[in-house]
Structures are given as C-alpha cells and as structure tokens.
Structure 1
Amino acid sequence: MKSSLKKYAAELLGTFILVLFGCGSAATAGGDLGYLGIAFAFGLSIVALAYVIGPISGCHVNPAVSFAMLLSGKLSGKDFVGYVVSQIIGGIAGAGLLYGIIHSTGKAVTSLGQNGFGAGYGIGISDLMAVVVEIVLSFVFIYTILGVTSSVSTSAVAGLVIGLTLAFVHILGIGLTGTSVNPARSLGPALLIGGKALTQVWVFIIAPLIGAALAAWIYKWMNSGVRSS
C-alpha cells in the first residue's frame, strides 16, 4: 500500500510540475519564447521528471501514457485508476497555482496555456482536424515511449528521448491545437479558464486516448516475435 501511495504521489507531483512549467511558460512568456521555447519548456520538464520520479512511478504524468501501459500489460487496473486520479489532481493543482500567480498581478487571467482549435486559435483548424492532429501527435509520442522503455539497453537515455519527443511533437502541434497529447495537462487549465476551452476539452481527452490505444496495439503487432535486449 505504501508503495502504491508513493507512486500516486509521484504522478501527482510530476503532473503538477509539467502543467506549471509547461503551461506557465506558454501563458506568461509565450510571445517571447515562441513555439520552440514553449516546446522545450514541456520537453525539459519531462527530462527532469523522468530521472527523479521515473524510478518511483515510471513518470507517466499523463493518463494517455498510463492507458497505453494498461493495454500493454505493464500497469494493473488498480494502478491505472490511481495514476489517472493523481494526474488529474496534479494537473488541476498546477493550473491553480499558475492562475494564482497571474491573478496576483491584478491582470485578468485569459490564458493558462489551454488547448483549443477553430477561429482565433492557432491557424484555426476544424474540430475534426483537431481530433486527427491530437491522435497523430499522441501516437508518435506514446509509440516512442513504448519503444524506448522496452529495452534495458535504452533505459539510461529513455528520459532524454521521451522529453525531446514531447518537444518535437509540440513544435508542430502548438500552432494547431496548442498540443495536448495529455488529458490531465488539458483538463486543469480548461476547468479554471472555462468558456471555449472547457467546451472543447473533450477533444483533448478522447483523442490522446485513441492515439495511445493505437500506439499500444501497433507497437505490439510490429514487435511481436522481436527480442529486446
């Protein structure tokens, strides 16, 4: 039981940090950092977290990653529920602190790095295309995670590869949907900012889970009979 609580606490803390620093960089300095800077804020957060909480929980900090691990038989149903609840709480807490920081300046809080699509967001893609984009981005990200964590020979660099891949998918995705690939990262800001972000958040919950399922199934099929070392 104590071991499970430590894993859940690590997932909560990790998701809190990812949302605070990733979404915080977009909300407070996005104009100065640009897409590349925001992408690396998310990616470097994962690099740091992977080597700190990775040995405790595996550093999923993402319900879609946990879903892929569940489908791959690497996570129990009980731990899946515990991970997802912890990740959602961490995402809301991270967005809450970010809201408080911006609000303390006396300015209206109009951005928490929330995801979106349509007129007035990025290049204005449709809801259907937003679903497609998020499925593809999530597939690439989670397929990479499954690959780099499946072999002992790549375990030492797994955190770096995963963090750089998250930055990689953000570089394309920021101008399209803001890049979710993570329901917990999207839900926290959407709940606090409300409005359009909240009505659109279903895309950023469902599409990453579909991308995760595709990644798990295709990885299993592509690598069946292939020995890992």
Structure 2
Amino acid sequence: MNLTRRFLAEFTGTFWLVLGGCGSAVLAAGFPEMGIGFAGVALAFGLTVLTMAYAIGHISGAHLNPAVTIGLFIGGRFSSKDIVPYVVAQLAGAITAAFVLSLIASGKPGFDLVESGFAANGYGEHSPGGYSLFAALITELVMTFMFLFIILGSTDDRAPSHLAPIAIGLGLTLIHLISIPVTNTSVNPARSTSQALFVGGWAIQQLWLFWVAPIIGAILAGIVYRFVGRETEARVRERLSTE
C-alpha cells in the first residue's frame, strides 16, 4: 500500500481507539447503576485494537500508537522513513477523536471537560488511585514493554497470523485492568496527547511521562524480542525446507 493509504488507515484506526476507549471512560464508566467501570473501559480499549487490527492490519499494520511504531522499528519490522508520517497520522486521528468526544460529552448539561479529567493520564493527585510519579513511570514502561512483546511475538512469521489481533486486543485489555488505577493507562503517547490538549494545565505538564516511558518500554521490547525470537541459521534452513 502507498503511504497515503497507510496514513489514512492509521488516522482512522487511532481515531477509533481514542473514541472507543476514551469515549467509554468519559461517557459510560461513571454511572452508578449502568456504568461499565474499569473493567468495561479496559475491554473497550482492547476491542478497538482487536477490530482495527482486522480492519486495517493488512493496510498499515494497525500500529495506532507512536510507541508501537518505534518498537516495531527497533524490532526490525518497520522502516525508519515511515516513522514520522505514521506518528503524525496517529496524533491527528487521536486529536480528531478527542474533539468529537468533547462535542458529544458537552451535550450533557453540567458537563465540565476540565473538571471531568476527560480520561487524561496522570500521576500523583491526578492518578485515579493516587499513585506516585515513580509508580506511574514503572507502570507505563513495563506495560508498554509487555504490549510490544506481545505484538512482536504474535505477528512473528512463525506464529499463527490470523490469531494475532486477538492476542494483541486481549493483551491491551489486561494491561488496562492492571494499570487504570495507576495512570488511567496510556501505553500510547497519541492517546495521552489528545486528551491532555483538551484538559490543559496539569495534563499538559504531566504529558512528558506518557511519551518517555512508553517509548523506552517499546525500545526495550524491540531489543529483547530481536534476541529472544531470533532463529539460528540451521533452524531457518530447516523451516524453509519444510515449507
């Protein structure tokens, strides 16, 4: 696929991730009787990635996340020349989704975008569970490492490719179940940026962590998987001879 089509696919996929994931948190999580809670939000994020992996995986790879794009590059699965266009598409899709979500949420009387937090990521007093900067840093780094490790492993040529979206979607669901109380779960700089831009103030000030930690985690995962998943020359010859 040419770059324009892949750009549009990444834009659309990231739009869906933010609208579906953050939308579930902003619109559906907080109702006392019919709210979906943390578990519902976690599932919503997993479903957005699962559905988009099947919808656009064959077009752009369905990265939907700057950390994923960088991790795949480090893992030897992506070209450096396409990193910037992919990240731009992801940011544009996420910000557009946040804008649409703000229009929907503002239709409820009394809704205050800043006061609500708008599903922004944070630490300290802005952590859902009051977790510290250090706890948030470790959480985002480790969770992104595991997310990229799952992606790299499940999309390996030796793995059953038709099952990769399920593994990735369920992996992201589990990550959210673990880390929503700590940071509201980022593992995705585009998702964090889109919400922070609309909340402003503290969300912008704390945004650096949700770029730095996921990218470090993704880089480490790319390095580790290249070692763990590497085939010996003898094994490659054996596999090719049976195909």
Q: TM-score range by the shorter chain?
A: over 0.9
Give the AA of the match of 2:13: G
Unaligned runs of 5+ in 2: none
Q: Which moved more, 1:49-58 or 1:110-119?
A: 110-119
**1:207 correspondence with 2:213:** yes
Instruction: Give TM-score scaled by structure 2 length.
Output: 0.90
RMSD: 1.5
122 and 111 in structure 1: CA distance in 2 versus 1, 3 angstrom threshold: closer
Aligned residue among 90, 101, 113 for 1:98: 101
1:51-87 Cα deviation digits (max 9, x unpaired): 0010100000000000011112221122111100100
Aligned residue among 125, 146, 162 for 2:131: 125
- In 2, the alpha carbon distance for the partners of 1:58 and 1:82 equals 14
**1:22 correspondence with 2:26:** no
- In 1, the alpha carbon distance for the partners of 2:214 and 2:3 equals 25
120 and 77 in structure 1: CA distance in 2 versus 1, 3 angstrom threshold: closer
Aligned residue among 116, 120, 134 for 1:114: 120
Which residue does 1:79 correspond to in 2?
A: 82
Q: Which moved more, 1:218-227 or 1:86-95?
A: 218-227
Which residue does 2:175 correspond to in 1?
A: 169
1:169-215 Cα deviation digits (max 9, x unpaired): 00010000011000001100001111211111111111000000010
- In 2, the alpha carbon distance for the partners of 1:76 and 1:223 equals 19
Instruction: Give TM-score scaled by structure 1 length.
Output: 0.95
Number of residue-to-residue matches in the alignment: 228
Give the AA of the match of 1:147: G
- In 2, the alpha carbon distance for the partners of 1:95 and 1:75 equals 28
What displacement does 1:120 show?
Answer: 4.8
Unaligned runs of 5+ in 1: none
Where does structure 1 differ by over 6 angstroms across 4 or more consecutive aligned residues? none
Aligned residue among 219, 222, 226 for 1:216: 222
- The higher radius of gyration belongs to 2
- In 1, the alpha carbon distance for the partners of 2:80 and 2:159 equals 28
Q: Which moved more, 1:68-77 or 1:142-151?
A: 68-77
- In 1, the alpha carbon distance for the partners of 2:126 and 2:193 equals 20
Sequence identity, in percent?
42
What displacement does 1:126 show?
Answer: 1.2
Paired residues of 1:62 and 1:87 also in contact (CA < 8 A): yes
- In 2, the alpha carbon distance for the partners of 1:131 and 1:120 equals 14
Which residue does 1:154 correspond to in 2?
A: 160
Q: Which moved more, 1:48-57 or 1:115-124?
A: 115-124
What displacement does 1:152 show?
Answer: 4.7
